[in-house]
Amino acid sequence: MSEQDPEGGPLEGIAVVGMAGRFPGADDLGELWRNLCGGVESVRFYSREELAAAGVAPALLDDPRYVRAGAPLRDVQHFDADFFDFSAREAELMDPQHRLFLECCWEALENAGYDTRTWPGAIGLFAGMGMSGYLIRNLLSHPDLIQSAGPLQVRILNDNNFLTSQAAYRLDLRGPSVTVQSACSTSLVATCMACQSLLQLQCDMVLAGGVTVIVPHGLGYLALDGVMSPDGHCRAFDAAARGTVEGSGAGVVVLKRLADAVADGDTIHAVIRGFATNNDGGFKMSFTAPSPEGQLEAIATAQTIAGVPAESITYVETHGTGTPLGDVVEVTALSEVFAAATEQRGFCALGAIKTNIGHLDAAAGIAGLIKAILAVEHGVLPPSLHFATPNPRIDFVRSPFYVNTECRPWRPEGWPRRAGVSAFAIGGVNAHVILEEPPAPAPSAPAPPWLLLVLSARTETALEAATDRLLGHLRELAAEPATRLADIAYTLEVGRRAFPHRRMLAVRDLQDAVEVLERRDPRRLLTGTAAVDPQVAFLFPGLGNEYAGMARGLYRDDAGFRARIDDGAARLEPLLGVDLREILFAEEEGGEEVANQGIDLRRLLGRGSRAPRGEEAGQRLRRTALSQPAVFLVEHALASRLLDWGIRPQAMVGFSIGEYVAACLSGVLSLDDALRLVAGRARLIDELPGGAMLAVPLGEEAVAVAEGGLAEGLSLAAVAGPELTVLAGTEEAVAAAEERLTAAGHVCRRLQTSHAFHSALMEPAVERFLALFEGIELHPPEIPYLSNVTGGWITAEEATDPAYWAEHLRGTVRFADAVSELWREPGRVLVEVGPGQTLSSWALQQSSASGGADPVALPTLRHAFERTDDLAFLLQTVGRLWLTGLRPDWPAFWADQPRRRVPLPTYPFERRRYWIEPRTEPAVPPAVARPVEAPVPASAAMAAAPVRRHVRPSLHVPYAPPRDATERRLVEILGELLRVEAVGRHDGFFDLGGDSLLATHLVARLNQELGAELTLRSIFESPTAAELAVALAARQGEGAGVWGPVARRAPGATLPLSFAQQRLWFLDQLEPGNPAYNLAAAVLLTGPLDRPAFAASLEEVVARHEALRTTFRLADDADGEPVQRIAPPAPLPLPGIDLAGLPEEAREAEALRLAAEEVMRPFDLARGPLLRAALLRLDAARHVALLTLHHMVGDGWSIDLLVRELAALYPAFAAGLPSPLPPLPVQYADFVLWQRASLRGAELATQLAFWRGALAGAPAVLGGRGDGRPARRRS
Query: Which residues are CB-neighbours of 363 under 8 A, at least 6 positions away?
Result: 130, 186, 187, 209, 210, 211, 212, 248, 249, 250, 251
Residue closest to 472 by CA, chosen among 28, 32, 39 = 28
Rounded Cα–Cα distance for residues 538 and 857 (Å): 10
Identity of the residue numbered 982: A
Omega of the bond leading into 1169 within 30 degrees of 0 (cis): yes
pLDDT tens per residue, range 922-951: 333 333 223 333 333 332 332 233 456 777
- Burial class of 658 by CB neighbour count within 10 A (0 to 12, 13 to 18, 19+): buried
Residue closest to 126 by CA, chosen among 84, 182, 88, 57 = 182
Q: What local confidence, expressed as pLDDT, does residue 894 receive?
A: 94
For all residues of the chain together, what is the average pLDDT?
88
Q: What local confidence, expressed as pLDDT, does residue 999 receive?
A: 80
Q: What local confidence, expressed as pLDDT, does residue 1274 receive?
A: 36
Average pLDDT over residues 853-874: 89
With H, G, I as helix, E, B as strand and everything else as coil, classify residue 1244. helix
Banded model confidence at residue 613, pLDDT cuts 50, 70, 90: low
Residues serving a catalytic function are: 184, 319, 359, 656
Residue closest to 1148 by CA, chosen among 1182, 1112, 1180, 1124 = 1182
Rounded Cα–Cα distance for residues 107 and 909 (Å): 10
Q: What local confidence, expressed as pLDDT, does residue 853 receive?
A: 60
Rounded Cα–Cα distance for residues 1007 and 1035 (Å): 11
pLDDT tens per residue, range 1037-1071: 554 444 456 778 888 778 899 888 988 888 888 88
Rounded Cα–Cα distance for residues 1200 and 1009 (Å): 13
Q: Over 50: is that where the pLDDT of 1266 sits?
A: no
Q: What local confidence, expressed as pLDDT, does residue 558 receive?
A: 95
Banded model confidence at residue 76, pLDDT cuts 50, 70, 90: very high
Q: What local confidence, expressed as pLDDT, does residue 1044 receive?
A: 55
Q: Over 70: is that where the pLDDT of 182 sits?
A: yes
Higher pLDDT: 853 or 758? It is: 758
Q: Over 90: is that where the pLDDT of 274 sits?
A: yes
- Burial class of 352 by CB neighbour count within 10 A (0 to 12, 13 to 18, 19+): buried
pTM: 0.78
The residue count of the chain comes to 1275
pLDDT tens per residue, range 125-179: 999 999 999 999 999 988 878 888 888 899 999 999 999 999 999 999 999 999 9
Q: Over 70: is that where the pLDDT of 599 sits?
A: no
Q: Over 80: is that where the pLDDT of 867 sits?
A: yes
308 within 8 A of 414, measured Cβ to Cβ: no
Longest dimension (CA), the chain: 122
| DSSP per-residue codes, 774-828 | TT------SS-EE-TTTSSBPPHHHHT-HHHHHHHHHS-B-HHHHHHHHHTSTTE
Rounded Cα–Cα distance for residues 750 and 693 (Å): 6
pLDDT tens per residue, range 315-351: 999 999 999 999 999 999 999 999 998 989 999 999 9
Banded model confidence at residue 780, pLDDT cuts 50, 70, 90: very high
596 within 8 A of 909, measured Cβ to Cβ: no
Omega of the bond leading into 935 within 30 degrees of 0 (cis): no
Angle between helix 292-306 and helix 324-339 axes, rounded to 10 deg = 40
Q: Distances from the Cα of 1086 to the Cαs of 477, 1154, 1181, 1183, in angstroms? A: 61, 19, 5, 7
pLDDT tens per residue, range 242-251: 999 999 999 9
Average pLDDT over residues 279-304: 91
What φ, ψ does residue 1241 adopt, rounded to 5°?
A: 60, -130
Q: Cα 832 to chain center, whole Å?
A: 35
Dihedral in degrees, nearest 10, Cα atoms 821, 824, 827, 831: 10
Residue closest to 1231 by CA, chosen among 1049, 980, 969 = 1049
Q: 1078-1086 and 1182-1190 as β-strands: parallel, antiparallel, unpaired?
A: antiparallel
End-to-end CA separation in angstroms for the chain: 51
Q: Distances from the Cα of 440 to the Cαs of 195, 379, 418, in angstroms? A: 22, 13, 15
Q: 66-67 and 221-222 as β-strands: parallel, antiparallel, unpaired?
A: antiparallel
Q: What local confidence, expressed as pLDDT, does residue 713 receive?
A: 85
The beta-strand segments (E) located in 1115-1155 are 1122-1126, 1136-1138
526 within 8 A of 504, measured Cβ to Cβ: yes
Q: Over 70: is that where the pLDDT of 1145 sits?
A: yes
Rounded Cα–Cα distance for residues 781 and 661 (Å): 12
Q: What local confidence, expressed as pLDDT, does residue 422 receive?
A: 97
Higher pLDDT: 979 or 453? It is: 453
pLDDT tens per residue, range 832-850: 999 999 999 899 888 764 4
Four-residue CA torsion sign, 618, 623, 626, 632: positive
Rounded Cα–Cα distance for residues 990 and 999 (Å): 9
Query: Which residues are CB-neighbours of 586 under 8 A, at least 6 positions away?
Result: 548, 549, 613, 614, 616, 617
457 within 8 A of 466, measured Cβ to Cβ: yes
Q: What local confidence, expressed as pLDDT, does residue 604 receive?
A: 41
Average pLDDT over residues 707-730: 89
pLDDT tens per residue, range 534-590: 899 999 999 988 999 999 999 999 999 999 999 999 999 999 999 999 999 886 544
Banded model confidence at residue 1262, pLDDT cuts 50, 70, 90: low
Q: 348-351 and 315-317 as β-strands: parallel, antiparallel, unpaired?
A: parallel
Of the chain, the percentage scoring pLDDT greater than 90 comes to: 66
Strand partners, 71: 247
pLDDT tens per residue, range 625-682: 999 999 999 999 999 999 999 999 999 999 999 999 999 999 999 999 999 999 999 9
Residue closest to 1211 by CA, chosen among 1089, 1125, 1099 = 1089
Average pLDDT over residues 172-191: 97
Q: Over 80: is that where the pLDDT of 401 sits?
A: yes
Q: 408-409 and 724-729 as β-strands: parallel, antiparallel, unpaired?
A: unpaired
pLDDT tens per residue, range 746-755: 999 998 888 9
| DSSP per-residue codes, 611-644 | -HHHHHHHHHHTSHHHHHHHHHHHHHHHHHHHHH
Q: What local confidence, expressed as pLDDT, does residue 927 receive?
A: 30
pLDDT tens per residue, range 94-110: 999 999 999 999 999 99
pLDDT tens per residue, range 204-216: 999 999 999 999 9
Banded model confidence at residue 1260, pLDDT cuts 50, 70, 90: low
Higher pLDDT: 146 or 1253? It is: 146
Q: Cα 387 to chain center, whole Å?
A: 43
Q: What local confidence, expressed as pLDDT, does residue 1038 receive?
A: 54
- Burial class of 704 by CB neighbour count within 10 A (0 to 12, 13 to 18, 19+): middle
581 within 8 A of 561, measured Cβ to Cβ: no
Q: What local confidence, expressed as pLDDT, does residue 1 receive?
A: 32
Residue closest to 631 by CA, chosen among 547, 725, 517, 562 = 547
48 within 8 A of 61, measured Cβ to Cβ: yes
With H, G, I as helix, E, B as strand and everything else as coil, classify residue 835. strand
CB atoms within 10 A of CB 277: 22
Average pLDDT over residues 483-497: 95
| DSSP per-residue codes, 422-450 | EEE-TTSEEEEEEEEPPPPPPPPPPPPSS
Highest mean pLDDT out of 51-55, 97-101, 1125-1129: 97-101
Average pLDDT over residues 282-311: 91
Q: Which of 74-88, 337-351, 1206-1220, 1252-1266 has the lowest mean pLDDT?
A: 1252-1266
The beta-strand segments (E) located in 544-602 are none
Please report the domains of the chain, with CATH numbers, ordered by start residue: 9-436 (3.40.47.10), 447-521+889-899 (3.30.70.3290), 536-604+612-687+757-868 (3.40.366.10), 692-752 (3.30.70.250), 949-1039 (1.10.1200.10), 1059-1223 (3.30.559.10)
Of the chain, the percentage scoring pLDDT greater than 70 comes to: 91
Q: What local confidence, expressed as pLDDT, does residue 850 receive?
A: 47
Residue 128: which H helix or E strand, with range? strand 123-129
Rounded Cα–Cα distance for residues 857 and 859 (Å): 7
